[in-house]
Amino acid sequence: MKKMMPWLITILLAITLIVVAAFLLMDKFFPSDANDVNQAVQNVEAKRLSADQIVELTAEITDIKTNLADPDYIVSINFAFQLDTATAKEEFEKIKEIKIKPLIIKALADTKPEELNGADGKDQLSSKLVNLINKTLTEGQLTQIEVTNFILAPM
């Protein structure tokens, strides 16, 4: 038994180190989308705006109709985008048809119908779009996206 004790301690120590290393490296090998959502929420500054200011800083994209990741489903969706400054809104209005709309269509093309169910699904899509669109804007930031119309239908 005396001869086996050092071996048992070494084996238990090795197993413990492997488990600790696996937990530390899990995020690198299996990244989660929840981190993107949390980053988007943290980047948005919470400030109170009047109704006139909200209207002044909001742009809309309407009538987006496209297939989802499951080709048997089609979605018709409208968005309202709230930006942080008037110059950001002007830039957004200029590029919304040539840059923003294709980003939305690509994001929807990778989305499964069940991922859009409920308020959480729409919030996940909004957070994903905030991250994608903020990378394309050079002036200001997109602070909020609201889904103003949503129809999901099988073909």
- For residue range 112-136, list pLDDT tens digits in order: 999 988 888 899 999 999 999 999 8
> What number is the average pLDDT over the span 83-109?
92
> What number is the average pLDDT over the span 23-41?
63
| Residue 89 amino acid letter | K
Q: What is the CATH number of domain 35-154?
A: 3.30.479.30
What is the reported pLDDT for 33? 54
- pLDDT band per the 50, 70, 90 thresholds, residue 14: very high
Instruction: List the structure tokens of 42.
Output: 């943290």
Domain boundaries, the chain: 5-31, 35-154
| Rounded Cα distance, 144 and 111, in Å | 20
| Rounded Cα distance, 15 and 13, in Å | 6
What is the reported pLDDT for 39? 54
pTM comes to 0.67
| DSSP conformational letter for 44 | S
> What number is the average pLDDT over the span 96-101?
92
Contacts of 136 (CB under 8 A, 6+ apart): 95, 99, 100, 103
Residue 57 near residue 83 (C-beta atoms within 8 A): yes
Average pLDDT, the chain: 85
Which of 34-48, 54-68, 99-113, 123-137 shows the lowest mean pLDDT across its residues? 34-48
